[in-house]
Amino acid sequence: MSLLLEACALSHVYADGSIGLDGCSLAVRPGSRNALLGSNGSGKTTLLQHFNALLRPTGGAVRFSGQPLDYGRSGLNALRRQVGLVFQNPDRQLFSASVTEDVSFGPLNLGLDEAAVRTRVAEALAAVGMSELADKPVHHLSFGQKKRVCIAGVLAMQPDVLLLDEPMAGLDAAMQVELQSLLDALAARGITIVLSTHDVDFAYRWADDIHLLAAGCCLASFAAADLTQHAGALAAAGQPLPAMAQLHRALATRGLLDEDGDSPPRSLDALLARLNT
Ligand SMILES: Nc1ncnc2c1ncn2[C@@H]1O[C@H](COP(=O)(O)OP(=O)(O)O)[C@@H](O)[C@H]1O
Ligand SMILES: [Mg+2]
């Protein structure tokens, strides 16, 4: 199968000499949901910023659709239409007075006419459930609403790939559920999603593919369904087994459910469905 985004022995040394990435290699399949899973400082943000060319490698390469990134002006414009990044902190991304202005910025820069921009903005705001707040000043929004406006701003560019840096961080439980269903809806539309997280439980229940990052390196990439086969790499990356996998193991040990060789359930409902009753 063809690969959409690849980090090939990617290294990045920051101006102060800090090592952001250190020979990181991983690949993202088109249409897949990917979690970059790693503890603080493992290189997640640095990697995401390479994927849309905000940062350039000091070693190795990033490839998109099989081609090395073109860092010339037209190459960057083309890339940023196709690969959108949502920052961890919305205040670093939002800069216009109103929600509509902010979400319009990207499409206006594409040179689209006013009607086309209006349509894109309306669609993007509807996708994130923010249509009602279109005229609100950005600085009056809650953190979760700002986050959604940031996502709308990227969606208005109609990207093939959506990159999100720690999208769940700082959201309350209800907003996390909402954001997860938004991500599910976008994935169902065929958008490839790559997000960073330090939450193994979230990565396990949400992702198709998990890429384990530690010290600027990708220790392992695997299907989330196969996670328990990678306990060693998880431990090396400082990650516990997901609670659902631990619970499954404990119940199986006590004979309360069959260890039938399948991978452990990834949701509570799936686990309950397997209980011996
Ligand atoms: N702007 C920067 N200048 C210097 N070092 C940085 C900068 N950003 C990140 N780093 C360093 O690069 C490494 C990876 O950081 P980062 O990509 O932010 O990790 P993560 O997002 O997984 O927490 C860390 O050691 C961090 O201190
Ligand atoms: Mg980070």
Together in a domain, 236 and 256 = no
* Protein residue closest via CA to atom 5 of ligand 1: 18
Residue-level pLDDT at 270: 84
Residue 126: inside a domain, yes or no? no
Residue 110: inside a domain, yes or no? no
Together in a domain, 55 and 76 = yes
Between the alpha carbon of residue 232 and those of residues 197, 212, 236, the distances in Å are 19, 11, 6
Together in a domain, 233 and 255 = no
> Facing residues of 85 across strands?
163
CB 35 within 8 A of CB 206: yes
Considering its fold, how many domains does the chain have in total? 2
Together in a domain, 64 and 172 = yes
Residue 144: inside a domain, yes or no? no
Residue-level pLDDT at 264: 82
Residue 178: inside a domain, yes or no? yes
pLDDT tens, residue order, the chain (277 aa)? 588 999 999 999 999 999 999 999 999 999 999 999 999 999 999 999 999 999 999 999 999 999 999 999 999 999 999 999 999 999 888 888 899 999 999 999 888 999 999 999 999 999 999 999 999 999 999 999 999 999 999 999 999 999 999 999 989 999 899 899 999 999 999 999 999 999 999 999 999 999 999 999 999 999 999 999 999 999 999 999 999 989 888 888 888 887 766 678 888 888 888 887 6
Together in a domain, 83 and 164 = yes
Residue-level pLDDT at 251: 87
Residue 74: inside a domain, yes or no? yes
With the most atoms of ligand 1 within 8 angstroms of its CB, the residue from 14, 26, 198, 219 to mutate is: 14
CA 86/CA 185 separation, integer angstroms: 17
Which domain range does residue 225 map to? 5-93+159-240
Instruction: Write down the pTM of the prediction.
Output: 0.95
Together in a domain, 213 and 250 = no
Residue-level pLDDT at 263: 78
DSSP state of 156: T
**Distance (Å) from CA 87 to ligand 1 centroid:** 14
Residue 232: inside a domain, yes or no? yes
| CATH value at residue 220 | 3.40.50.300
Residue 119: inside a domain, yes or no? no
Together in a domain, 79 and 174 = yes
Together in a domain, 163 and 272 = no
Residues 6+ apart with CB under 8 A from 208: 29, 32, 33, 34, 223, 224
Structure tokens at 159: 């990207």
For ligand 1, which residues put their CB under 6 angstroms from it?
14, 16, 18, 20, 38, 40-46
Together in a domain, 73 and 167 = yes
Residue-level pLDDT at 276: 73
Residue 117: inside a domain, yes or no? no
Residue-level pLDDT at 261: 64
Residue-level pLDDT at 260: 65
CA 146/CA 52 separation, integer angstroms: 21
Together in a domain, 14 and 82 = yes
With the most atoms of ligand 1 within 8 angstroms of its CB, the residue from 10, 12, 16, 18 to mutate is: 18
**Distance (Å) from CA 43 to ligand 2 centroid:** 7
Together in a domain, 21 and 72 = yes
Together in a domain, 170 and 252 = no
